Amino acid sequence: MKVITIVALLVVSLPGAYAQSRPVRRAASVKEISTTQRLTPALPIRRVVLYSNGVAYFERRGMVSGQAEINLPFKQSQVDDVLKSLVVLDLGRGRIGAVSYNSSAPPSARLNEIPFSIDAGTEQETSPLAGGLAAVLTQLQGAHVIVTTQTRTVRGAILTVEERKSQIDANKPPLITNLLVIASDNGEFSSFDLSEVRSVRLLDEGAWQDVSEFARATASTRRRDAKTIVVTSTGEGPRELAVSYTVAAPIWKTTYRVVLDDTGKPFFQGWAIVDNVGDEDWTGVELSLVSGTPVSFIQPLQQPLYRHRPIIPIPEDLALEPQVHDTGVGHAVGSGHGGGMGSGDGAGVGPGRGFNMGGGNPALGGGDAPAPIAGPRTSFSDAITSEESGVKTAATGKKFGDFFEYRIDQPVTLRRDRSALIPILQTRMEGERVSIYNEAARKDRPMSGIRLKNSSPLTLEDGSLTVIEGEAYAGEALIERLKPDEERFISFALDLGTLVTARSKMDREPAVLVRAVNGVLQAHYYQTEKKVYTITNQTDSPRVVYVEHPVRDKWILSDKTQKPAETTATLYRFRVEVAPQQTVEFPVTERLALMDSYALSNLTTDDIKVFVTRRYIDEETRAALENIMVIKGKIAALDRGLASIEREAAEIAADQARLRENIKALKDTSETRQLIARYVAKAGEQETRMEQIATERRAIAADRAKVQLELDETIRSLALDRKL
């Protein structure tokens, strides 16, 4: 009856046959399964370590005895992490066996291996029960069954399911009935109207196993997010079993409270926010919170991988003729490769006592107003900083490697789908109440803030911070990771009691150094920018203002500027104290080193005058520079003489060309002969002058080279390194 109840709900209409000659697979009966699979309850969670990169380390411990099977339920998305991090230890000298889990093969791949299939519905217009059963039985042809109706019970093999149509009313569709035909062991054929069949019992174990496998594969499509990992261990007597693994988890978060007293000294309180989004309660677990970012990734290990294989058709003609191969030197070529990679880690913690940290609060109900508390009233800020506040630090900090761990001192109980605030720090910190001004952020008002020093031994993870001052909420801020003994400025509100303005002025300072190097005179000086911050304290209490001034590349602070209290990669921070109702001007002067260069070979008299006016040079250097100018004058005179004879030579050459053209144009007469003789005589005189010009040119060139050598040597020998 159970079988029919399951099968009848699966309505199908796909063709197929179940061959009677199909090999029968050995399968345990339902009774056998229930007596052999005695599964031990899952090991309880004993330790949880949450990391700030979104993973969690879980450790389970519990007692087992004899041959144990441990069920560990996980979500589908967690299995890949578990498979690459699972560590199983039997602490009682037992032997760990196989670690198994239900396959993650796609349902379509699993259903393809089953010799029949069933659709989710049917288009039969008669009873869904008959149509669904007909579709199933059609695909179980050849299977041995026992068919029971109200009047008879017959045992035999399924031959077919016949469909019949009968027209009772011409105005209505025909009535469809299904007849099951079986062949009994004595050779008798019997038919049954499926609407009258009460049960069909499968006698073939193989057929029943296929139906069961189909049901499991179909059910897995509905429970895609469920996965069970089974751990087996074989041993004798009671012993402890430990299992650890990592899975994805929400990052743990931190949030802080700062209470400022009348002097601005901070009292610091830190809380950690943890979330249990799993399917199990954390009951008395050892909880640790780790600040750090270990490398973590997801690798799809649970999904079976299939390689594509080509389908090769069978040749239609298998009549092969014999082949004769030539004899030769045979050889074989082979290659192969392999690789492996593995890693492992483990951690263990001894058993310990545990109790629930949580506590119940009485419900608040309506009614009359409560009576005031008798006696002196304690302020909220005094209460929160008192040792009797009821809030006790629950964590101990410890540094290991690049990580920092907050280990919760007492066992924690946290129900599933619940979150909790856990106090991890409560202490007085070093620091003071300040105002922080940054012109780029806001031009007229600074921000109210705290200069906080982490005087605790704990590393404070980044998080939100709420400030309480004067018995009330004062503002909020974000704090970045703060290690022990580190200082940090934290701003939480706009300071409406302080006014700041800034004005700038650019200038050029006189040269501070003059050098002559390789024929170049260098004048080193500073470009300056002076910014004056005018700070006005509009309150009746003193103010400590930190002015944040940007650090610029190649600009340096002048010696006249007050030394900054702190320098970062991008900012100078200057501490300025302002008395009540007072105004203070705070100047910040920066200098940029620049240099003007003058080539001595191009030096002019005006340049020397500038050097003297700016006091770049002394009298000795001035004499040396004037000597250079005298030598440059000699070179200029020689260049002028050379240019003069060059012009004369050009004029003679042009005149000779004219004479030659004239001689060619004259005819041979007594009158022209006299003129030609005159031209020839003049050309002779010009040739004599051209020879003289060539001699003078060589002499001038030699003199110029000598004077140029003298100039180069004078420039090269000039050395100057003078601080002004």
pLDDT digits (tens, 9 = 90+) for 293-322: 777 777 777 666 767 767 767 555 444 444
Identify which has the larger pLDDT, 109 or 643: 643
Question: Tokens in use for 595?
Answer: 């240099």
Tens of pLDDT, residue by residue over 366-423, are: 344 444 444 455 554 555 555 555 445 566 766 766 677 888 888 889 998 899 998 8
Res 530: pLDDT: 95
| Band of pLDDT at residue 228, cut at 50, 70 and 90 | confident
Instruction: Specify the range with the lowest mean pLDDT, choosing from 92-106, 391-405, 671-685.
Output: 391-405
User: Burial level of 617, CB count in 10 A (0-12/13-18/19+)?
Assistant: buried
% residues pLDDT > 90 (the chain): 22
**What's the whole-number mean pLDDT along residues 75-80?**
83
Res 312: pLDDT: 66
Find residue 427's DSSP bridge partners. Answer: 268
Res 415: pLDDT: 92
Q: Are 215 and 119 in contact (CB under 8 A)?
A: no
Residues contacting 37, CB < 8 A, separation 6+? 69
Identify which has the larger pLDDT, 459 or 593: 593
DSSP label of 600: G
Res 563: pLDDT: 95
Res 112: pLDDT: 62
Q: Are 450 and 259 in contact (CB under 8 A)?
A: no
Res 296: pLDDT: 75
Res 54: pLDDT: 86
E-strand ranges in 292-402 read: 395-400
The mean pLDDT of the chain is 77
Tens of pLDDT, residue by residue over 518-571, are: 888 888 989 999 999 999 999 999 999 999 999 999 999 999 999 999 999 999
% residues pLDDT > 70 (the chain): 75
Q: Are 61 and 92 in contact (CB under 8 A)?
A: no
Find residue 412's DSSP bridge partners. Answer: 285
For the cut 70, the answer to whether the pLDDT of residue 134 exceeds it is yes
| Band of pLDDT at residue 103, cut at 50, 70 and 90 | low
Res 320: pLDDT: 40
Alpha carbon distance, N-terminus to C-terminus of the chain: 113
Res 593: pLDDT: 93
| Band of pLDDT at residue 24, cut at 50, 70 and 90 | very low
Instruction: Give the C-alpha separation, 564 to 549, whole Å.
Output: 10
Res 57: pLDDT: 92
Residue with tokens 């399911």: 161
Mean pLDDT highest for which of 179-188, 205-214, 267-276? 267-276
Q: Specify the pairing of strand 463-469 against strand 543-550.
A: unpaired
Res 514: pLDDT: 87
Question: Tokens in use for 403?
Answer: 């990580």
Res 574: pLDDT: 96
Res 77: pLDDT: 82
One-letter amino acid identity for 406? Y
| Band of pLDDT at residue 221, cut at 50, 70 and 90 | low
Tens of pLDDT, residue by residue over 461-516, are: 888 999 998 778 989 999 888 888 999 899 999 999 999 999 999 998 888 888 88
For the cut 70, the answer to whether the pLDDT of residue 30 exceeds it is no
Mean pLDDT highest for which of 153-167, 169-183, 584-598? 584-598
For the cut 50, the answer to whether the pLDDT of residue 20 exceeds it is no
| Band of pLDDT at residue 222, cut at 50, 70 and 90 | low
Residues contacting 371, CB < 8 A, separation 6+? none
**What's the whole-number mean pLDDT along residues 77-94?**
86
Tens of pLDDT, residue by residue over 329-355, are: 433 333 333 333 333 333 333 333 333
**What's the whole-number mean pLDDT along residues 637-659?**
89
Question: Tokens in use for 658?
Answer: 């004219």
Mean pLDDT highest for which of 128-142, 630-644, 677-691? 630-644
